[in-house]
Structure 1
Amino acid sequence: MKFNFDSPEPIYLQVAEQVEEAIFTGIYRAGEQVPSTTEMSKEFHINPATVLKGINRLVAAGVIEKRRGVGMFVTPDAEKTIREKRRAEFYDRYVSRFTSEARKLNLSEDELIELIRRGYEA
């Protein structure tokens, strides 16, 4: 994990995003333990409260569960939860804007689909 301390994005969000990415890419799998707040804060020189705030976002999202006295573990549905979240974000960030611009250009659905196919082939 690498954190950009000069970024306008808060460190706690960077923590959440990077742990989420590690889960999504299979570094941490369902049922596996993730590093503790203390371990992360020491390794990356981040305030433990900041790490905890990021981790709590993942707990609230149902991606990580805390087991009192044992640690934090990836939930069984974590990958599915992350995938669904990212698909929704993809739609909001890209598809919605993409189709709006296509309408402005008077592109038909077929023309739009052809452009997408061409993009996949490139």
Structure 2
Amino acid sequence: MTISFDNNKPIFLQMKERIEDQILNDQLKEQEQIPSTTELVNFYKLNHLTIAKGIKLLVDAGVVYKKRGVGMFVAEGAKEKLLQQRKELFVDEYVLPLMQEAKKLGMAEEEIVHLMKQIKGREQT
């Protein structure tokens, strides 16, 4: 099995996001132990420091915490914190540019909503 990474983003950030995704989709639950750095190194075939740097970002953000001698665990409230962060990022990276472009094109709010509903309808079929 080949695990690919995006060449346009540092791998440590992608590792951080993969763990976040596992928390968001309930593969890792609050107070549950995350895979060790060694397990992640062996699975992804990456440098130990790359994995450690991604996990450190999660610790700094309060998403995971360390139990000395035991391992790293998902923090209480981590999923909610990640959902809030991702929603804010979604607005900044997608909604604002969408609204700016729609304004340039003279599109009304109703037209944008109609297009979104059309696209959503296509995905459900």
TM class by shorter chain equals: 0.7 to 0.9
- What secondary structure sits across from 2:46 in the alignment? coil
Opposite residue 81 of structure 2, the aligned amino acid is T
1:23-69 Cα shifts (integer Å, max 9, x gaps):
11111111100011122113322221111100011111221111111
Opposite residue 25 of structure 1, the aligned amino acid is N
TM-score, with structure 2 as normaliser: 0.85
TM-score, with structure 1 as normaliser: 0.87
Which residue in 2 is equivalent to 1:24? 24
Give aligned-pair identity as a percent.
38
Which residue in 1 is equivalent to 2:63? 63
1:3 is displaced (CA, Å) by 4.1
Change (3 A) 1:61 1:44: same
1:83, 1:94 → 2: CA distance?
16
1:9, 1:115 → 2: CA distance?
30
Change (3 A) 1:9 1:108: closer
Which residue in 2 is equivalent to 1:74? 74
1:48, 1:34 → 2: CA distance?
16
Q: How many positions carry a matched residue from both structures?
A: 121
Unaligned runs of 5+ in 1: none
Which residue in 2 is equivalent to 1:109? 109
- What secondary structure sits across from 1:19 in the alignment? helix
1:111, 1:3 → 2: CA distance?
38
Matched, 1:43 2:48: no
- What secondary structure sits across from 2:66 in the alignment? strand
- What secondary structure sits across from 1:62 in the alignment? coil
1:10 is displaced (CA, Å) by 2.0
- Which of structure 1's runs of 4+ aligned residues deviate more than 6 A? none
- What secondary structure sits across from 1:72 in the alignment? strand
- What secondary structure sits across from 2:7 in the alignment? coil
Unaligned runs of 5+ in 2: none
Which residue in 2 is equivalent to 1:87? 87
Which residue in 2 is equivalent to 1:2? 3
Give the root-mean-square deviation of aligned CA atoms.
1.9
